[in-house]
A and B are shown apart, each in its own frame.
Chain A
Amino acid sequence: MNFNMISKEKIKHIAQLAKLYLTSEEEEKLQKEISSILDYIEQLSQVDTTNVEPASQFLSEIFDSQESVLTREDKIKRQDTDVVDNLFKMAPETKGKSFKVKPIFGENRGKE
Chain B
Amino acid sequence: MKQIAADPYPWPFDGAFSRENTAFLILGYQQRAVDELAAHPALATTTELLERWRDAGGRTFFSRRGVETLSSARRWRNERRQIDRILRRGAPGWALAVEPRDNEPVVDHVGDSAFYASDLDHLLRRANAKNLIMAGLPTDGIVHATMREANDRGYECLLVADACTAHDQAIHQGILKITVFGNGLFGTVAPASVVFEALA
Q: Does chain A bind chain B?
A: no
